């Protein structure tokens, strides 16, 4: 029963992958060992690249892809919804509990310490994104060799624009589009 298998595998992934970002990838890796035919000839790096290049969270992308390869469109839907079912229940319960107790001094203090800590955590994840975009090789192998100068210039220009009051209100998608066009132009040289 392929649909039941898909449901159980991705429900488990949704239930146990904490921390987001690429937290679902180790689970996908395990699945690839257990059910190789779900992913065809693709490797984990291929799955990550496809997930990166298509809209949406990596976990959902991977689930849809595996579900489709294993069981067609219905398989894709089963896998994707199995993945988010634990989030739906758990987050809803926590959000309700939090709203009820927002006034309590304990919750207030906890939120005041959580906010800066999570800011640091997000900054670390951002650093990973920035590094992947601006450096080709691992930095260990030589900082100056690893730098993609064209990308650094593009990054500096875009970041500079994001500090101009009128421009920074523009929807982020226009920056992505500009980046894509600049990427194609830079590829010509």
Which 52-81 residues touch another protein, going by CB under 8 A? 52-61, 64-65, 68-69, 73, 76-77, 80
164 binds another protein (CB under 8 A): no
How many CB atoms sit inside 10 A of residue 51's CB?
Answer: 23
The yes or no reply on residue 15 touching another protein (CB under 8 A) is yes
118 belongs to the binding site for another protein (CB under 8 A):
yes
Go through the chain and tell me how many residues it has.
189
Cβ atoms within 10 Å, residue 180: 10
Name the minimum Å distance from CB 74 to another protein.
11
Name which of residues 142 to 161 contact another protein (CB under 8 A). 151, 154-155, 158-159
- Cα separation, 2 vs 121, in Å, equals 38
Asked whether 75 and 2 are in contact (CB, 8 A), the reply is yes
Give bridge partners of residue 135 from the DSSP assignment.
147
Residue 26 tokens, joined: 């180790």
5 binds another protein (CB under 8 A): no
Asked if residue 14 binds another protein (CB under 8 A), the reply is yes
Which span sits near another protein by CB under 8 A: 1-9, 29-37, 118-126, 139-147?
A: 118-126
> Using CB under 8 A as the criterion, what x/- string covers residues 25-44 for binding another protein?
--------------------
Distances (CA, A) of 58 to 23, 28, 95, 177: 9, 11, 24, 20
175 sits near another protein (criterion: CB under 8 A): yes
């Amino acid at each position: 029963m392929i649909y039941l298998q898909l449901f159980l595998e991705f429900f488990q992934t949704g239930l146990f992958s904490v921390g987001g970002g690429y937290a679902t990838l180790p689970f996908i890796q395990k699945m690839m060992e257990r059910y190789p035919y779900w992913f065809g000839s693709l490797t984990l790096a291929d799955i990550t690249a496809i997930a990166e290049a298509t809209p949406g969270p990596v976990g959902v992308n991977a689930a849809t892809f595996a579900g489709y390869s294993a069981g067609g469109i219905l398989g894709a839907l089963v896998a994707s919804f199995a993945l988010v079912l634990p989030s739906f229940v758990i987050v809803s319960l926590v959000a309700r509990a939090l709203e009820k107790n927002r006034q309590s001094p304990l919750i207030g203090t906890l939120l005041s310490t959580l906010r800066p800590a999570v800011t640091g955590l997000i900054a670390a994840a951002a650093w990973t994104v920035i590094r992947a975009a601006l450096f080709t090789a691992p930095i260990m192998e030589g900082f100056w060799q690893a730098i993609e100068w064209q990308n650094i210039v593009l990054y500096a220009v875009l970041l500079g624009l994001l500090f101009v009051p009128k421009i920074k209100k523009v929807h982020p998608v226009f920056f992505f589009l500009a980046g894509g066009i600049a990427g194609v132009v830079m590829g010509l040289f």
